[in-house]
Chains A and B, each alone.
Chain A
Amino acid sequence: MNDYRITTYEPRHRGAVVEFQQMLWQGGAAGNSAYLDWKFGANPYLDDRYVTLAWQESELVGMLGVFGSCWEVDGHGRVMLPCLADTVVAPAHRGGPLFGRMLEWLVERLRADEVPWLLDFGDQPAGPAMLMSGWTAVGPWPVAVAEREVLGSGEGEWSAREAVRGSRSGATITPVATSLPEMPALAAETRSRGSVRVVRDEEYFRWRSRNPLARYFHLVAEEQGTVGYLIAHRTAVDTDDGPTPTTIVECEALDDDVWRDLVEAAVATLPGKVVTMWVRDLAPAREQSLASLGLSPTRPSGRLSQDIHLPKLVMRSTGVVDDAGPLATLTSPDVWDMRGVSGRGWR
C-alpha cells in the first residue's frame, strides 16, 4: 500500500493529471487542461518544474501543484517564491503518509535548487500536520463576509451594467469587463505597510485574468481620472446560486471614501449569495467601515480548531535561507502586506 513512486510532472502525464484533478478543479477535460496550462505553463514566474506527482504502479494517486508568485522585498528587489496549490490525494490514500512524503520530496528538490521558501495560502486539511512538521504560520487573519439574496450576472451582463455615483465620494463607479492599465498603476501608488508585497504589474494582471476556471469582476472609480478599482473573483464551475463565495481579491483607492464606495457597489452588485474579503492590511478607517457595508468580520479566536478555515499563510524553509538577508524574516507577520493576495485569486 505504501509503495509510492514520486515524480516530477512531464507532458506525458497531462492526461492523467487532467483526469485526476477533476475531483478538485471540476472543469471537465477541456477546462482542466486549460487550467493546467494557465496555472503552470503560462505563469510568468515559474514553469511546471516543481509540480509533484505520486503514483502507485501506473495509477496517479497524488499531486502537489507548485506555481510561481512574485514578490517585492524591500532591500532585495523582486523574488519568485513557489506556492503550493491544487494538492490532491486520492481518497483511498488519504490519512496516510503520502502527502507528507510528497512534501518532503518537493522540499528536497527546492533545497537542491537553492529556493529558500515554499508558501501555502491554501486551506490544507493537512494543516495541523504541516505545522507539526516544520511549517510556520503567519496568521490567521480576519475575513469579512456579507450574505445577500443571490445576485446573478450572466456572460456580458456585468460590463453592461450602468455606472453609479459613489454615495460618499461622488466618484463614478463603472463595471468593466477586464482590468485596465490604470489598475496596476494605482496599485503601485499605494503605500505598503509591509516590506514584502505581491508584485501587481500589468504582466501579473494579464496572467491572473486569463484563469479559464474563474470569472473576474472589475469596478473602476473615476473622478477626473482613475481614483480606485476593485477586482472580485468567482469560480466559473459553480452557478451564481451555488455555495462558493465571490471574493473581493483587491480594492485600491486614493482615499477612504472612494474605497468605501467601491466596496459598497461590489456588495450590492456582485453575483452569488456570499461576498467575502480578507481583512488584513486595511487602513483603520477602512476596516471600521466594513460593518456598515454589510461585511461582518470573523476574527481569529486563537483556537486552532475554530480558526482552521480563516485565511493564513503557512511557509516552509527549505534550509537554504541566508540568515543575514531580507528573506530570513519572512516568518514575521509584520513584514507581509497581503493586499492583492487572495487564495481564491489564484484558483
Chain B
Amino acid sequence: MSGSHDVQDVARTVLDCLRNKLFLDGVTADTHLIESGLIDSVGFIRMFVVLEEEFGIEVTARDLSLERFQNVGSISRFVIEKLAEGGGSDKPAEAVRA
C-alpha cells in the first residue's frame, strides 16, 4: 500500500477485497454489510485478516463498532484512521508465543 491515504483509493481496495478475497457476491460500495446478511461473525474475522494483510494495520477488540464496519465507506475511513495512527504492523500474523 502506498503512502497515499486517499479515501477513494482505499475504498476501491476495500471493495476489491470484499469481492475477490472474501467472495461477497453482489457487494457494492453502498451495501450495508450487516443488514444485508452478507457477512456473519466468521466472515468478520476473515475480513479483519484481509484488511490487516492488505493495509498492514491491526484490528483490535477496541476497534469494534457497528458504525466502523457498516459499509465500504466506513471501513475505508477506519483504515485511513489506522494508517494515520501508525497502526501498521511489522509483526507476523500469528499469536506471540513466549
Contact = CB atoms under 8 A, between A and B. Distances in A.
A6 B7 CA distance: 43
Contacts of A302: 58, 60
A308 B45 contact: yes
B55 interface: no
Contacts of A126: 40-41
B40 A305 contact: no
B94 A306 contact: yes
A125 B41 contact: yes
A95 B45 contact: no
Interface string B10-40: 0000000000000000000000001001001
A167 interface: no
Interface residues of B, number: 28
A301 interface: yes
Interface string A295-330: 011111111111110100000000000000000000
Chain B binding surface SS class = loop
Contacts of B97: 296-299
A319 to B, nearest CB: 18
B37 A95 contact: yes
B55 to A, nearest CB: 13
Contacts of A96: 37, 40
B1 interface: no
A133 interface: yes
Given A129-B40, A305-B49, A299 B66 contact: no
Interface of B: 34, 37, 40-45, 48-49, 52, 58-61, 63-66, 69, 89, 91, 93-98
Interface of A: 94-97, 124-129, 131-133, 137, 142, 291, 296-308, 310
